[in-house]
């Protein structure tokens, strides 16, 4: 059973912050609750016991915001104040905290609404992760069930749930910012900054990259317009 998770909260989120004194992107509030706390509560509900949060941009503000958390998860910070390590480098630095078993990683700005408010996506991923066949399991959203997103999609989902990167102009599925990874994916990678895309491509090369479809509506909140679209969607009756 997967017990540890990481939230990527170190990025600068420059498209979201209009003013220098704006909060860091993970503390952006949607419907009265920050994106970061929404993800912490989802992880707690799914049965995660320890959450690592990496820090760089406005690190002190995020630490103070989490001081009020009184839930059941142990919160541990991975400090990247000295140098921003990007998504992959941040996870590799945190591996001693994450342990030797597969773990879950979520972007700090992920937001979705599941059908019938089920809130089951993370638990379904955790139950469905097959360590014998999978190196990585990515949460996916259908492009037509997303708001605030104007890209061309990311992956093709095959009948056996394996993923390949889109080769055509567009793909039907968007990577939704949550994944389960095996620590061995990082064994041959150097310390320092690199993207998690390197890890996904390595898993795909071994036919070990899989997808799990979100049953709900995914919201991209990387810009002020995306944030407003999310606010409007969640406020709709």
In this predicted structure, the answer to whether residue 14 has a pLDDT above a threshold of 60 is: no
pLDDT at 23: 85
Q: Domain residue spans in the chain?
A: 4-235
Residue 12: pLDDT band by 50, 70, 90 thresholds? Answer: confident
Q: In the beta sheet, which residues pair with residue 111?
A: 219
pLDDT at 15: 52
In this predicted structure, the answer to whether residue 80 has a pLDDT above a threshold of 80 is: yes
Residue 236: pLDDT band by 50, 70, 90 thresholds? Answer: confident
Three-state DSSP at 168 gives: coil
Three-state DSSP at 94 gives: helix
Distance CA 232, CA 237 (A): 10
Q: Could you say which DSSP state residue 82 is in?
A: T
In this predicted structure, the answer to whether residue 18 has a pLDDT above a threshold of 80 is: no
> What mean pLDDT comes out for the span 126-138?
97
> What mean pLDDT comes out for the span 115-128?
88
In this predicted structure, the answer to whether residue 60 has a pLDDT above a threshold of 90 is: yes
Distance CA 214, CA 236 (A): 20
pLDDT at 237: 73
**Model confidence, pTM:** 0.94
Q: What pLDDT digit, counting tens, does each position of 28-59 carry?
A: 999 899 999 999 999 999 999 999 999 999 99
Q: In the beta sheet, which residues pair with residue 141?
A: 174
Q: What homologous superfamily does CATH list for 4-235?
A: Spore Coat Polysaccharide Biosynthesis Protein SpsA; Chain A (3.90.550.10)
């Amino acid at each position: 059973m997967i017990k540890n998770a990481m939230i990527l909260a170190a990025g600068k989120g420059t498209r979201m912050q209009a003013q220098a004194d704006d909060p860091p992107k993970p503390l952006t509030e949607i419907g009265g609750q920050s994106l970061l706390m929404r993800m912490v509560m989802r992880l707690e509900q799914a049965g995660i016991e320890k959450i690592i949060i990496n820090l760089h941009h406005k690190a002190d503000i995020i630490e103070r915001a989490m001081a009020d958390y009184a839930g059941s998860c142990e919160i541990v910070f991975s400090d990247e104040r000295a140098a921003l390590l990007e998504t992959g480098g941040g996870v590799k630095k945190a591996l001693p905290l994450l342990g030797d078993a597969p773990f879950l990683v979520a972007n700090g700005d992920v937001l979705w609404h599941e059908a019938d408010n089920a809130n089951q996506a993370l638990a379904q991923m955790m139950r469905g992760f097959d360590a014998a066949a999978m190196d990585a399991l990515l949460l996916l959203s259908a492009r037509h069930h997303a708001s605030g997103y104007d890209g061309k999609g990311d992956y093709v989902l095959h009948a056996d749930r394996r993923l390949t990167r889109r080769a055509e102009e567009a793909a039907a599925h968007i990577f939704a910012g949550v994944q389960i990874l095996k620590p061995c994916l990082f064994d041959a990678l150097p310390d320092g900054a690199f993207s998690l895309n390197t890890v996904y491509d390595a898993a795909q090369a071994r036919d070990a990259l899989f997808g799990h479809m979100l049953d709900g509506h995914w919201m991209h909140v990387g810009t002020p317009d995306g944030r407003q679209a999310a606010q409007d969607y969640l406020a709709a009756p």
